[in-house]
Amino acid sequence: MGCLDEGNGDIENGVSIGCGEVGFEEEAKPDIAAIEEAVKVLLLGLGEDVNREGLRKTPLRVAKAFREGTRGYRQKVKDIVEGALFPEAGLENNRIGHAGGAGGLVIVRDLDLYSYCESCLLPFQIKCHVGYVPSGQRVVGLSKLSRVADVFAKRLQEPQRLADEVCSALYQGIKPAGVALVLQCTHIHFPDIESIFLESSQQAWLKTLVLSGSGIFDDRKADVWSDFFCLLKFRGIEIEKVHLRGSSDQWWCPSLSALSAKVSSKTVPVNPAMVTAVSSILKSLGEDSLRKELTGTPGRFVKWMMNFQSIDMDVKLNGSLSGDTFDPDREVNFKDRQIHCELNLPFWSQCEHHILPFHGVVHIGYFISEGFDPIAKSLVQSIVHFYGFKLQVQERLTRQIAETIAPLLLGGHVIVVVEASHTCMISRGIEKFGSSTATIAVLGHFSTDLAAKAMFFQSVASATTSRVQ
Amino acid sequence: MGCLDEGNGDIENGVSIGCGEVGFEEEAKPDIAAIEEAVKVLLLGLGEDVNREGLRKTPLRVAKAFREGTRGYRQKVKDIVEGALFPEAGLENNRIGHAGGAGGLVIVRDLDLYSYCESCLLPFQIKCHVGYVPSGQRVVGLSKLSRVADVFAKRLQEPQRLADEVCSALYQGIKPAGVALVLQCTHIHFPDIESIFLESSQQAWLKTLVLSGSGIFDDRKADVWSDFFCLLKFRGIEIEKVHLRGSSDQWWCPSLSALSAKVSSKTVPVNPAMVTAVSSILKSLGEDSLRKELTGTPGRFVKWMMNFQSIDMDVKLNGSLSGDTFDPDREVNFKDRQIHCELNLPFWSQCEHHILPFHGVVHIGYFISEGFDPIAKSLVQSIVHFYGFKLQVQERLTRQIAETIAPLLLGGHVIVVVEASHTCMISRGIEKFGSSTATIAVLGHFSTDLAAKAMFFQSVASATTSRVQ
């Protein structure tokens, strides 16, 4: 599936772009059915009831999302670029310099894309900046730069290969003086249920930046690269300041990192039926599951999924909750009540409708009387993690956290707000980059005492202005 | 096409979501052909050659973009929401409060959408925040809130009606305790070629914010609205600070404003064949061209298009260029050379591939010797406007500005950077909200003197950090 095929291949299925949950090609049906079966094996392996309402259509949704997320395998760059090359004059003959269809650099900045990581099968986000220097007195329609990048993004990818494939395909398709790609890629760092208690500060995202250039961009020191970087700087993108990938950090996917390997060596062996199921998904997507980058992928995906086993809290947290003390008999004096807030507690969870991560923060408020200690933050964070590491929906997560904390408090007056980014909102048809979901649960006094609720909201607002997105 | 039909209507074409330039339904072909013919009439009315390479496929592209931008007429909310309602428990019986599937507010923030303005047929951008309060122990899949909003956005719209229709459709579809919508809408303010010289500071965008609520959100003073606003505040959206639409500014589309009416009263009468052509486009989109909000739309669209007539500079600028003095014989001493920059000159233009606006800023740098005056800024701005008000591509605009300024300078050493947002990058299949295109033309010394180019880029970077997007 190298990009060299792209420019010369025959038209297979045309540039059929499915959109989300509808419009799939007739010939995809057997592949979708095969993926559905494999997803059922995975759900059973987690100890789930595949017939419960929330999961009943999950296999179909996962199958469609995977097919759509890899539709690039069924698209041809040639079909996209052909018919979108326009004659465009360069400079008048007597002038020195570059402009228009002969040498005038064109870049399109800040294209939002997503792709699937070939190492772990999770989606990752991409800010794509693509440019080219026209030659031969012709230019390409601007949207085609985005469409071609998307063909390669919609495959199982790795950032550098993605950049190289897009670059090479555009170079062959447009035949310009040069093409350049800058990709800023962001991969969710999904800690293992065990490692999350080993390391106090977990980084939620891993970022990398990769470059690729063809033609006059072949040489990374060429002046035309500095023009490209200057045009990015006008949008606040400082290449010098971002982490350029070096040979020392060859793994960008957290599932390949040393810590992940260390932790997983302690875990139980993975269920072979689940691994076989993931291999069959790769085949149904049109991938070669024997390709060397993919050989460990099914095992890694299954290991990661096992974080969401349907088991009870004590087993899952391995005794982490013990040792925390709380006294249910301590009194709350409502006259001197204060609101204690635990803000921006991170959580990681898995959407049960799409088997895709969602991630964010939890804000919790409750009443406390002067002189009494609040619930230990570590206990609150453990509760948040416990309900995160399940197949979930955000509404339920919010309610469960509130209902678990309430009995620890006299009267059970608690308010919980969960704010999350859902991978399923970007890595399928709707592609709503930057959207964010908030849910609330209010118990006891908070449901009637507007002043108390307002005080809590004010604390959250103050704490979020300094929060980095 | 009221939203009351949406919940109860029969399935017409299912939820067929076309994506850009492919995938159109077979039955759309006659409508697309009719729009193509109408667009040819419009192009001829502008004095354009409909067979020139850049315009040859424009009628087809415009037809497909219009069909896709109004695909909401052919979609049913019922098809989207059905099958995406999930049972979800509320609070345990003995608790007071709201959570989960019984009263726990859910909002999805920052959904990027676009719609077409029913008054002028230009696309406008929407930041949509949508929320609901579940009841009956069930919740809806989060993406459905976005999909339903999109059904109504993909029609000819006006912000308040859009909000009301989405609200009403979700209320009927989900049957929750309440639904609320907050839309932040942004409409390009495209000045008339004449008015642009009357007013020195042209506002590029008009913004409005509208609300709509059903059920427990019916009352704007309900506490649940303040919860909604608090959750928006966590994302930096301050409802109090944005311009809430009142009765005093009933027109949000600039084509309906008083100034626009004043200017247009002076202009020549519009070509009736072009007006008829636009009316036929409305019919082909499935709209009722006699609906009262649409009666003036064809005339307004044609008036606006006439800004892009293919005529020469003197006629177009109506003598505005006269009165500027420049002396081509003045000497430039390259030893003492300084770079003079004109930065962030606004321009408005029209993409000839899609008949859609693109808008942005031009940065110009050239050498000047001490003691000599730069070219009058008004002349430079007039040149920028002249080349803007045409059917254009950004690459050509950049070259033409450079080639027109060069002869005003000894040696013709000039560098031009154009930065633009293209409506065609958001209001069609690729929907790349936030993308931005930059193009360069370099003439004479700037093509070889890297230090000079770097100085110019530095000036632009300094000036753009303070520029508000």
Flag if A432 and B402 touch (Cβ within 8 Å): no
CB-closest option in A101, A147, A399 to B395: A101
Flag if A440 and B90 touch (Cβ within 8 Å): no
- The residue that leads in pLDDT, A11 or A143, is A143
Burial class (CB in 10 A: 0-12, 13-18, 19+), B16: middle
- Find how far residue A183's CA is from the centre of its chain: 15
All residues at 6 or more sequence positions from B261 whose CB lies less than 8 Å from its CB, including other chains: none
Residue A158's nearest CA partner among A299, A280, A293 is: A293
**Rounded mean pLDDT of chain A?**
85
* CB interface of A with B, residues 397-416, below 8 Å: 398-399, 402-403, 406, 412, 416
Chain B contact for A259, CB < 8 A? no
CB-closest option in A23, A57, A431 to B16: A23
Flag if A91 and B425 touch (Cβ within 8 Å): no
Flag if B99 and A454 touch (Cβ within 8 Å): no
pLDDT at A328 > cutoff 60: no
Task: Decide: B356 and B422 in contact? Cβ < 8 Å.
Answer: yes
- Strands of B26-177 (E only): list them: 85-87, 97-98, 106-117, 123-133, 138-140, 156-157
* Residue type at position B273: A
Flag if B403 and A91 touch (Cβ within 8 Å): yes
CB-closest option in B110, B139, B457 to A435: B110
Query: Interface pTM (ipTM) of the complex?
Result: 0.90
pLDDT in tens, A340-371: 999 999 999 999 999 999 999 999 999 988 77
Residues in chain B with CB shorter than 8 Å from the CB of A147 are 20, 430
Residues in chain B with CB shorter than 8 Å from the CB of A233 are 457, 461
Nearest-angstrom CA–CA distance, A126 and A209: 10
* CB interface of B with A, residues 169-188, below 8 Å: none
Chain A contact for B136, CB < 8 A? no
Interface mutation target, options B64, B95, B417, chain A, most CBs of A under 10 Å = B95
Task: Decide: B232 and B215 in contact? Cβ < 8 Å.
Answer: no
Query: What average pLDDT does the segment A397-403 reach?
Result: 97
Structurally, at CATH architecture level, domain B313-465 sits in 2-Layer Sandwich (3.30)
User: Which stretches of A242-346 are DSSP H helices?
Assistant: 258-266, 272-284, 297-305, 313-317
DSSP-derived pairing of the beta strands A338-351 and A391-392: parallel
Mark the ranges of chain B whose per-residue pLDDT is less than 50.
1-23, 247-248, 322-326, 328, 468-469
Chain A contact for B101, CB < 8 A? yes
- The residue that leads in pLDDT, B16 or A200, is A200
Nearest-angstrom CA–CA distance, A27 and B244: 50
Structurally, at CATH architecture level, domain A4-305 sits in 2-Layer Sandwich (3.30)
pLDDT of residue B140: 96
Residues in chain A with CB shorter than 8 Å from the CB of B106 are 394-395, 437-439
pLDDT of residue B257: 75
pLDDT at A399 > cutoff 80: yes
All residues at 6 or more sequence positions from A305 whose CB lies less than 8 Å from its CB, including other chains: A42, A45, A46, A274, A355
Residue B156 tokens read as 């000819």
Could you tell me what percent of chain A has a pLDDT over 70?
Answer: 82
The distance in angstroms from the start CA to the end CA of chain B is: 36
Residue B303's nearest CA partner among B422, B407, B174, B191 is: B191
Flag if B139 and A441 touch (Cβ within 8 Å): no
Q: How far is B137 from chain A (nearest CA, A)?
A: 11
Flag if A146 and B432 touch (Cβ within 8 Å): yes
Interface mutation target, options B363, B436, B448, chain A, most CBs of A under 10 Å = B436
pLDDT of residue B47: 93
Residues in chain B with CB shorter than 8 Å from the CB of A406 are 95
Torsion of CA A192, A196, A197, A198, to 10 degrees: 90
* CB interface of A with B, residues 191-220, below 8 Å: none
Q: Is the full-model pTM beyond 0.95?
A: no
Q: What is the CATH number of domain A314-465?
A: 3.30.1130.10
Residues in chain A with CB shorter than 8 Å from the CB of B457 are 227, 230, 233
CB-closest option in B19, B142, B425 to A437: B142
Task: Decide: B444 and B413 in contact? Cβ < 8 Å.
Answer: yes
The Cβ of residue A245 has, within 10 Å, a number of other Cβ atoms equal to 17
pLDDT at A266 > cutoff 90: no
The Cβ of residue A259 has, within 10 Å, a number of other Cβ atoms equal to 13
Nearest-angstrom CA–CA distance, B464 and A90: 28
The Cβ of residue A237 has, within 10 Å, a number of other Cβ atoms equal to 18
- The residue that leads in pLDDT, A152 or A82, is A152
Query: What average pLDDT does the segment A429-452 reach?
Result: 93
Flag if B87 and A16 touch (Cβ within 8 Å): no
Burial class (CB in 10 A: 0-12, 13-18, 19+), A139: buried
pLDDT of residue A270: 81
Task: Decide: B15 and B23 in contact? Cβ < 8 Å.
Answer: no
Q: Looking at residue A431, what DSSP letter applies?
A: -
Chain A contact for B58, CB < 8 A? no
Residue B81 tokens read as 């929401």
pLDDT of residue B9: 32
- Find how far residue B408's CA is from the centre of its chain: 35
Residues in chain B with CB shorter than 8 Å from the CB of A436 are 108-110, 235
Domain parsing of chain B, residue ranges? 4-305, 313-465
The pLDDT confidence band at residue A7, using thresholds 50, 70 and 90, is very low
Nearest-angstrom CA–CA distance, B62 and B68: 10
Interface mutation target, options B78, B106, B364, chain A, most CBs of A under 10 Å = B106
Chain A contact for B454, CB < 8 A? yes
pLDDT of residue A201: 62
Nearest-angstrom CA–CA distance, A43 and A49: 7
Residues in chain B with CB shorter than 8 Å from the CB of A431 are 431
DSSP-derived pairing of the beta strands A356-368 and A338-351: antiparallel
Which range is most confident: A24-33, A420-429, A433-442, B68-77? Answer: A433-442
Q: How far is B38 from chain A (nearest CA, A)?
A: 22
- CATH fold match for the domains B4-305 and B313-465: yes
Nearest-angstrom CA–CA distance, B186 and A44: 48
Residues in chain A with CB shorter than 8 Å from the CB of B429 are 17
Chain A contact for B110, CB < 8 A? yes
Q: For chain B, what's the residue count? A: 469
pLDDT of residue B289: 81
Nearest-angstrom CA–CA distance, B84 and B82: 5
Chain A contact for B134, CB < 8 A? yes
The pLDDT confidence band at residue A25, using thresholds 50, 70 and 90, is low
Q: Looking at residue B205, what DSSP letter applies?
A: E
Residues in chain A with CB shorter than 8 Å from the CB of B100 are 395-396, 398-399, 441
Nearest-angstrom CA–CA distance, A348 and A361: 9
